[in-house]
Structures are given as structure tokens and as C-alpha cells.
Amino acid sequence: MQHYPIFLKLHGRRCLVIGANKAAAQKSEDLLRAGAFVTIVAPNLDSSCIRVIERNKGRAYHRAEEFCPGMEHGAALVLSVSDDDATNQAVHESCCRQGIPVNVVDQPALCSYITPSVVDRSPLQVAVTGGGAAPVLARQVRAQIESLLPSAYSRLASLAGRLRERVRSALPDNEQRLRFWERVFSGSASQSILSGREHEGEAEILRLLQEEKENPNHQGEVFLVGAGPGNPDLLTFRALRLMQRADVVLYDSLGASALLDLVRKDAEHIPVGKRCGKHTLPQEQINSRIIELAMQGKRVLRLKGGDPFIFGRGGEEIEGLLELNIPFQVVPGVTAAQGAATFAGIPLTHRDYAQSCRFLTGHRRDGRVNLDHWAPFHTDETLVIYMGLKNLSSVCTQLRSAGLPANHPAAVIEQATLPSQKIVEGSLKDLADKAATHNLSGPAMIVVGPTVPLTSRLAWYDAISEEIDSEPVCGAKPEPSTASTSSSPC
């Protein structure tokens, strides 16, 4: 984070604008709307600045001279739009000596603060900035947010402000107030206000307040959310909404990193660390911890990689919730198999090569690999093996013993859907050795089947892709890949 976001209270304070062009008029208007007194410093004013002063007599002034060090004394903020480099440098140095926030437009090196693009639904405001590097992009993002926030949000925020002290007095507990306001903003009260029925909405808020005051002990709730294979862009809208509501999140290694940045900022984070046989907490303790937190009245987010019901132990985690009648929701996620195969350019089914697909696990509860149980395997189907990297050699051996040829195509996809994604392609005879050569550590998916060689043509994701020599594929129509490194544009 290059800049610390902050909103300054300028009401009744003096600000200086250096320069007298259209940009100076616009910046002055912004400062005046924030309640500041503005002095425009320039020998002469253009017409736009003259109009600003005429419209704001008593609050906007003109100082008809060039800037000199000392003029900034006592100012709460200084903004320069001068075309003169020497003037801009002098403004910057003078303000820095006195610790006055200063911005020289279009010169980031001379700015101690930046002015963001603002979506104004006062008292609700949303600021967007590109850190001075991409102002046009920031404006486009602002425009998108503008379309999502009706102007009626101003009325909703104003009403909440008027009732804030009343709510604080009735509900002294912070968490209880948080739950109350979330009920208000996500329920019928806010919809009434946004629809123009403000009196009706206010009455509903007061009813909810009385209800909350009389019944402060809410039962907790559990959100079992599939976070997908790792790329935050693959989250569902519902997953994101529940991530923003959670009081506490239990996450494993497959659902960490950038995904956690999307969880509510003040939520408690509890790592449970499920990855490749290394568990911070055993599954039974995870189940108990979820129940314990929910019984405390918390909204518990169980953030899981992939989909909770596909090798995610989601069924185990909700059994205890059902027994105790604890409310819960399950949100499906993009499965690790789908994400890995799609981002590697390997179709799971293809009418010319593979007419079926099976998801298998390379790791059982007792740690053994037992793929023979699902034999026989066929050369015209796709197999996706979860949690198989640790036992990759045994996985390949068992698939061969169950009927697949040694040169049957196979690949390991590590860090699927992320910029660090890596694909190691080979056959059942040599895949384990090639994976070891490339120091794969996971998380990873194993894909076996006749569509694997298509990755050389269909790989579309701009990521690290290792394509290794493989022998001719038995029963597969695609041409085998040759040794190369692929990095296709997204």
C-alpha cells in the first residue's frame, strides 16, 4: 500500500490553491464543498476561477500575486496547479518544512498526499485511487461504482447517522451493534429507504432496534464456503457476501493468501492448515472448533479450497451442526479439478478423445493409496487425482497395474489458476521423476488421460507452463508435445 487512505476534515479551515486555470477552479470547488475556506494565489484569474469566487463570496478569495514561501503558513492543505516548475518546487519545499499536506498536480514526486476519484453519496463517500500511476483507470473504476450505488444511499447513510447515538445507547455491546446494523442494511428497512419510503424504513429500523435490545443472544451461524482453486476472481458472488459477514474465519492452506484479503477486515483469522498431510488441527478438532465458535453466537466462515463437497470434508464438518441445530449455509466453489484443467488448457471431456471423467483421491484416511478399488480404467476417459503429489510414484504405478499403458499421458498442475501455475507433462512411466526434477511441492492436481497433450495447443493462461517430452501416447489422437516452455497470453 503506497498511500494511507484518509479523509480530512476541512470544515472552517483555510486551504491554498496555487494557480488560476480550469483545474484550479475545479479543485477549489471540491475544497469548498468540503467546507473549507479557499484562497487562490495567482497574479490573474481566468474566467472559471472568477466564477468560483463570485459564487462563494465570503469563503473563496483571490490573492493577486505569485506564490512566495510563507504564504502557506496556517493552511490546512495546499494544492498547486501551476505550470511553473520553480513555483511547484517552492510550494512543495515550503509545505514540507511546516508539515502541511501538499499536492502538485500531475507531479507525484512533489506530493505528500494524492486526491482520489470520489463517488459522493454524502455522508457516504467512496474514494478510488491509482496511487498517481493510473488516474484514468481510477476514474473508470469510479464510474463503475457510480452505477452500483443509487443516489438514495445518501438518504440511507444520513438516517443511520441520525439514529447512531440512539442505537449506541440502546446496544452498548460493539458486536451486538454490528449485527443490528447488518440486519438493517441487508433487510427490508434499507430497501424501503432506497425506494423513497423513508418513514416506513425508519419505523422498521426502530422495530429491529427494540427486538435486538430484548433478545441480544443470537445463535451463531456457519458458512461453509468453497473458495475455488486459489484465484480470487473465481469466487462466487454469494461466497464474497458471506466472507464480508463473518466474525471469524477458519482457513486451510488452499484458501489462504489473497483470498483472506477479501474477508471482513476485523474478522478473527484461525489457520487450520490442511495441506499435503500436514494439519495444524486434526479434522475432528476443526469440527469441534466450528461448533464451539457458533455456540458462542459467532458467524463462522469455514473457507475451503475448491468445493466443500468434493474431497473437501464438507460433509463431515456439517454433521455436528445438524445434530445441534446450528444454522449453516454451504456455498459451492469452482472445483480444484475444473480450475486446474481449464487453466492448463486440458479439457476434462472431449467428444473425440475422452467421453467420461472421474475424480479420485490419491490419499486415504489411513495415508495409503488404493486406486485399484476403482479399476478398471480406460484409455478414453479422464482421471483427476486429488491429493496425489506426495504419493505420485505409487499413483502412476497403480494406474498402470490397473490397465493403463506406461505411455498413457499424464500431467501435474501446481498452483493452478495462479500466476505461479506450473504444468509438468509426461506419461505414467516418467511423470513422477519429472515432477521431482521440477521440485513441485503443491498444492497440485494430477490429470491423466488422452486430452492431456492438448495443453500444448489449448493452454491460454499467462502462467509458467512446463511441457516435457513424452513418448507416443497409446490410444490418443492428439500429437505428443515436444520439449518447450509455453507462456501463452491471457
Strands of 275-416, DSSP E = 299-304, 328-331, 356-361, 381-386, 409-414
Residues 6+ apart with CB under 8 A from 234: 228, 333, 334, 339, 417
Backbone phi and psi for residue 390, each to the nearest 5 degrees, phi listed first: -60, -35
- 306 carries a ligand binding annotation: yes
DSSP letter for each residue of 427-480: ETTTHHHHHHHTT--SSEEEEESTTGGGHHHH--SSS-EEE---PPPTT--SPP
At position 231, the amino acid (one-letter code) is N
- 85 carries a ligand binding annotation: no
Determine which helix (DSSP H) or strand (DSSP E) holds 98, and give its type and residue range. Answer: helix 85-98
Q: Which three three-digit cell numbers place residue 378?
A: 480406460
- 43 carries a ligand binding annotation: yes
Nearest one of 198, 243, 203, 193 to 223, comparing CA atoms: 243
- 335 carries a ligand binding annotation: yes
- 307 carries a ligand binding annotation: yes
Of the listed 30, 252, 304, 430, which one is catalytic?
A: 252
- 387 carries a ligand binding annotation: yes
- 123 carries a ligand binding annotation: no
- 480 carries a ligand binding annotation: no
488 touches 462 (CB < 8 A):
yes
Query: What is the C-alpha separation between 370 and 393, in angstroms, rounded?
Result: 13
Of the listed 27, 247, 274, 422, which one is catalytic?
A: 274
The CA angle 106-107-109, to the nearest 5 degrees, is: 150
Query: What is the C-alpha separation between 56 and 51, in angstroms, rounded?
Result: 9
Residue 252 a catalytic site member: yes
- 228 carries a ligand binding annotation: no
- 187 carries a ligand binding annotation: no
- 462 carries a ligand binding annotation: no
Mark residue 396 as left, alpha or beta (left: phi above 0; alpha: psi -120 to 50; beta: remaining): alpha
Query: What is the C-alpha separation between 305 and 230, in angstroms, rounded?
Result: 7
Helices (H), 313-458: 314-323, 336-344, 392-401, 431-437, 455-458
Query: Annotated binding site: which residue ranges?
Result: 22-23, 43-44, 229, 305-307, 310, 335-336, 387, 416
Query: Annotated binding site for S-adenosyl-L-methionine: which residue ranges?
Result: 229, 305-307, 310, 335-336, 387, 416
> Which of the residues are catalytic?
252, 274
Query: Annotated binding site for NAD(+): which residue ranges?
Result: 22-23, 43-44
